[in-house]
Each structure stands twice: as C-alpha cells, then as structure tokens.
Amino acid sequence: MNNFKKCKIDLKQYLKKRREVVNQVLNKYLKCNNKSPRVIQQSMRYSVFSGGKRLRPILVLCAAEICGRGGYKKALAPACALEMIHAYSLIHDDLPAMDNDDYRRNKLTSHKKFGEAMAILTGDALLTYAFQIVADDLWVKKEMISELAKAAGREQMLGGQVEDIQNSGCKGKRIKSKNEKTRNVKKINYIHACKTGALIKTSLKMGAMAVNASKKQIKALEEYGKNIGLAFQVMDDVLDVVGNKKKLGKRGSDFDNSKLTYPLIYGVEKSKEKAVKLVEKAKQDLSVFGQKANILKKIADYLINREY
Amino acid sequence: MNNFKKCKIDLKQYLKKRREVVNQVLNKYLKCNNKSPRVIQQSMRYSVFSGGKRLRPILVLCAAEICGRGGYKKALAPACALEMIHAYSLIHDDLPAMDNDDYRRNKLTSHKKFGEAMAILTGDALLTYAFQIVADDLWVKKEMISELAKAAGREQMLGGQVEDIQNSGCKGKRIKSKNEKTRNVKKINYIHACKTGALIKTSLKMGAMAVNASKKQIKALEEYGKNIGLAFQVMDDVLDVVGNKKKLGKRGSDFDNSKLTYPLIYGVEKSKEKAVKLVEKAKQDLSVFGQKANILKKIADYLINREY
C-alpha cells in the first residue's frame, strides 16, 4: 500500500486512484433509499458528485498513510465527512444572498437546479450527515469530532466566510496608504486561513489522528496544511482573475463581487510569487517524515501549477 | 435535587428554574470573545436569547433526572446543543426562500435583523457549534452524537422540512376523496413526526443516555417524546389559525403559505381532540417510572393547554 518511499511516484495516477476510492465510499454513504424524501437525496448527490478534485479527502488519506502502518482505511469516514462539509460550504456560498453564482464546475449551482429552499436544506443536510458519519465510525475518536466542528465553525471556516462577506465591495477602491495595505493583508490572510485553510489543515490533522499519530507528526502536518491552504487560495484568487469560465467552471464572481483578494492587493505576479514561497515552506514542514512525504510535496507543487 | 416523587409540583416554578439553568449555560457557551467576527457572535446570541420556552433542553434535563441519581448536570451539554439546533432550524425556516417570516416571538427574524447572508451563516454556525459542544463534553458518548445527527438530519428533522416545503400550496384545495384524506393524514403525520417530533423525542433520549439509563427507560421516554411531539405540533397548527400575532409572536405564515396542517384536514375542534388523545397516550407511556414521572405528565398537559 505504502509506496511513498519510492522517489518516482506518478502523482496523476496516485490522485486518480485515491479519488476513485473516495468516490466509492461517498457513493455508499449517499446511496438512495426510502428513508428520506427523494429530492434531498438527489440534491445531496448532485452537489457531492459534481466533479470535485477531492483534495481534502485525499489529504486525509495521505496523512493517515504517512503516519500509520495500516494504510488509509481507518481514515475513510473523516475523509468523506470533510468532503461533505466542503460541498455544503460551496452550496451555501453560491446562494443568491452570498456570492450569487449560477455555475460551478460547469454545472448549475444547487439553487439554480433545485431552488433556493432546497439548496439551503441540502447544505444543512450535508453538514449534519458529516457529523453522523464520523460519530458512527469505529475508528473516529470524540476529539476528532470536536476538531471537525471547530474547523467548520465560527472560529475558522464560517468566521472566514463572515469576514469575506463583510469585506465585499473593495473593487475600484484604491489602496492609498501603507497602513491600509497592512490592514488588508491582515484581513485577507485571516479570510484565507479560515475560509479555505481550516478544512485543508484539519484534513491532514484528522488523517493523522485516525491512525494515532504522534504530536510531532500532527504538528508538522498542520503546518504543511496551513501553508498549502493559503497557497491554494492565493492561486484560486489568481485563477479567478486570469482564468476563464471554461477552465474554472464558473464566472469569476469574486471579481464581480469585488471581494478582497490577493491580486487586488499585490497584483497577479506578486501573488504567484507568494504562492510559490508558501509551497516551499510547506515542503520544509514535512522534513520529519523523510521520503515518505514525497507525495505530499508533489501535491503542494500541483496546487500552484494547476490551471483550474 | 429530585423532587418528582412529591405529587404536588409547581410546574411553573419548575420550568422557570430549569429555564434559568439552561440560560446560564447557554450564556457561558455563547460568551463573546475575540476568536471570531463579532457580528456572528451577536447574531447567534440574538437568536438563541430571543425568549424561547427552552422546551427541548428542559426535557433533556428532566429525562436525566428521572433516569439517573445525580440530577441533571451530566445532561447540560446535550441540552444546550439541542436548543442550538432548534434555534438554527428556526433561523433557516424563517428565511425568504422558506417561510419568509419577518417576526418570531415578537422580534425581527434573523435575516430581517442581520441580513440574509448572515442569517444563513448564523444557522450554520449554531448547528456546527452544537456538535462541538457535545464532542467536547466529558459525559457525552459517541453514540449520543450520532443520535443527535440522525435526529437533525435528512431522515428526520430536515426530511420533515423538505416534505413540508413540497406540500405548500394546499390552501383552497378541497379534500375530495377519502383516499386523498388518508394520503394527507399520512403526509402530515410524517412532517410533524420529523420536523418537530424528532428533536423532542431525541431530547428525552439524550437526557436518558447521558445518565446511562436502561433500554426500557429509554424506550418509554422515546414513546412519550413521539406522542408529545406530535401533540405539540398539532396545537401549534391550531394556534397558528386561532392565535394572534401578539400571543404567537409571529403572523400565521403557515396559513399564508397554505401548508398542509392538521386544522386543514380535520378542522380546529377535531385537531384539539387529537392532541388531547396524544397527550393521554404519552402519559401512559411513562408508567414504568411511577410517580417520578409526574413532572413529565404535567409538561404534557401544559403543552396542549398553552396559549402560545
């Protein structure tokens, strides 16, 4: 199972295989039955199976593989829970009252497909089901559920989303003073660390916790997670500006909504440089694992070289 | 602590005392700090401290008192978690895309006070925090977290809400055949059992589980919970028709939105009779507890005699 020691790992192949595993388990968790209204089951499936990269669950599995000896099986439930929380956050983010996006990954957003009420309830259902999955799983410990709730809650993911919304409307506003720039940098780092970073960091932490990793290992993976999380979001901002609808699968609503973004503060090129530096830092964080961490290093590189 | 054996319990006094305990603990859980944006903390507090009866948490505490020997202390975390989930469900129910209510308990609803985006996020935050509270609590077992997630999820509370929304638009529709009436009775029982009943039933179950109650005790409390949950909702429907804004604290949006309700199928008087019968059944369910259950019997009576 563990082939991380070999230096030459085909990343594409690795990601594809893990994606398949995640999809299979998600499919099992979201199998339609007659225990709830059909429409909510369909809408949950619609959003979860809309072609996501499965970055978060893959990071969960990868962390478990690196820290444990038994592969990734003990981390499958938290992996799927994290993907469901990610899917719920996108559904609610896309709502008319938030980013008002009609498309995501080239498909209609949940509220465009199922109506606004159903989209709100679908997000709620995915969030709730994520906690059920981990609570029902044999390998999940109570402190992992607490970790998940903290990452998704007001002090992390939701806090970032609140701050993001409150800082909409920056377009056209020239950043005049150095002080203003410092304030904005602080804000954008907070937003990104919370809104995107929290779930990515927690993915690595939960994978490690699932296999009883040492404190040192958990700390290293958390640091790596923080850095790639920020790099990932910086690149997302960049792609939102330079990407196009076809590749990104959505129109660049962050730019339309005039949100505070890295390119707005630093410009596109400087933002890219920041992302590269963060990825270098992330790779250094993994030194404790030696060659076993090669795959995570490759994932870090991939995140800033992707086109969507 | 346990004064249930005395036949004469002043219900009003009991409810007041327990409400104070619940409010104190909720206040502690929702204390403002600088770990998340101020506005989300304020909006969470606004909805949780909007003058609710605290029925669900009181039922949690009561079940723990009846089944255990150490009073209600071990059940405080689940009690508060259930109230937060109740509060989140009301915030999302009131949204323009759902019931579109401007007032609840004579106060502006969350989206009217803080805007729609913040209301959605506040609901999300309360739901997430509820799971954090139980996961962090010493006395809560993993199976209790699973129980909570199931009750709040697509197969129970959210399933009821989905069905409720899908059955809006019944006003003016005459119920023509016996078959149609049977179908509607089935639907309304499902909606009520899920949308309101699930959290009430689970309140009793979690209180009992917190003090390691026997299977027989848990079963009895669940049955009681099912019956008072339905009775409570039938009376809510009735009050929505005959109540007024002042007492109910909201306009009767269920009637405006033409939802499927008990009075729509049976008429007001027959609905009241149904509620009385359900309460009688609920009281019989408690026979296993003897006089210790007097307070729960009084609560059952109170639920159908209330004016709001």
Backbone angles phi, psi at A104, to 5 degrees: -145, 130
Taking CA–CA distances from B127, the nearest residue in chain A reads A128
Distance from CA of B194 to the nearest CA of A (A): 10
Q: Which of B128, B157, B161, B186 to mutate to test the interface with A (most CBs of A within 10 A)?
A: B128
Q: Which of B84, B109, B111, B121 to mutate to test the interface with A (most CBs of A within 10 A)?
A: B121
CB A134 within 8 A of CB A144: yes
Q: Which of A124, A127, A138, A161 to mutate to test the interface with B (most CBs of B within 10 A)?
A: A124
pLDDT at B117 over 90: yes
CB A230 within 8 A of CB A278: yes
pLDDT at A245 over 50: no
Distance from CA of A149 to the nearest CA of B (A): 5
Residue pLDDT, tens place only, B21-63:
999 999 999 999 999 999 999 999 999 999 999 999 999 999 9
Q: A153–B128: do the CB atoms touch at under 8 Å? A: yes
Q: What is the dihedral of CA B263, B266, B270, B275, to 10 degrees?
A: -60
Q: B159–A131: do the CB atoms touch at under 8 Å? A: no
pLDDT at A256: 53
Contacts of A118 in chain B (CB under 8 A): 162, 165
From the centroid of its chain, how far is CA A48?
A: 13
Residue of A251, A171, A191, A133 whose CA lies nearest to B145: A133
Top-confidence residue, B242 or B141: B141
pLDDT at A67 over 80: yes
Q: What is the dihedral of CA B140, A131, A86, A261, to 10 degrees?
A: -20
Residue pLDDT, tens place only, B62-77:
999 999 888 899 999 9
Task: Read off the tokens for A91.
Answer: 């559904």
How far apart CA B166 and CA B158 sit, in angstroms, is 12
Contacts of B149 in chain A (CB under 8 A): 128-129, 131-132, 135
Q: Which of A128-142, A239-253, A270-284 has the lowest mean pLDDT?
A: A239-253
Top-confidence residue, B252 or B217: B217
Model confidence at B172, pLDDT cuts 50, 70, 90, reads very low
Q: Which of A84, A141, A154 to mutate to test the interface with B (most CBs of B within 10 A)?
A: A154
- Collect all residues with Cβ–Cβ distance below 8 Å to B205 and sequence separation of at least 6: B63, B147, B218, B221, B222, B225
Q: B158–A121: do the CB atoms touch at under 8 Å? A: yes
How far apart CA B267 and CA B272 sit, in angstroms, is 9
Residue pLDDT, tens place only, B248-294:
555 555 555 567 888 988 999 999 999 999 999 999 999 999 999 99
Q: A158–B125: do the CB atoms touch at under 8 Å? A: yes
% of chain A at pLDDT higher than 90: 77
Model confidence at A177, pLDDT cuts 50, 70, 90, reads confident
Supply the mean pLDDT for chain A: 90
Distance from CA of A94 to the nearest CA of B (A): 11
What ipTM score was computed for the predicted complex, to two decimals?
Answer: 0.93
Domain A11-305 has CATH 1.10.260.40: no
Strands (E), B32-118: 103-104, 107-108
Q: B159–A123: do the CB atoms touch at under 8 Å? A: no
pLDDT at A3 over 50: no
Q: A131–B145: do the CB atoms touch at under 8 Å? A: yes
- Report, as an integer, the average pLDDT of A144-156: 98
- Report, as an integer, the average pLDDT of B189-214: 96
pLDDT at B1 over 50: no
pLDDT at B6 over 60: no
Distance from CA of B128 to the nearest CA of A (A): 6
- Collect all residues with Cβ–Cβ distance below 8 Å to B128 and sequence separation of at least 6: A127, A149, A152, A153, A154, A158
3-state SS, residue B121: helix
- What does the domain layout of chain B look like in residue ranges? 11-305
pLDDT at B138 over 90: yes
Q: A132–B118: do the CB atoms touch at under 8 Å? A: no
Q: A158–B121: do the CB atoms touch at under 8 Å? A: yes
Q: B159–A37: do the CB atoms touch at under 8 Å? A: yes
Model confidence at B181, pLDDT cuts 50, 70, 90, reads confident
Supply the mean pLDDT for chain B: 90
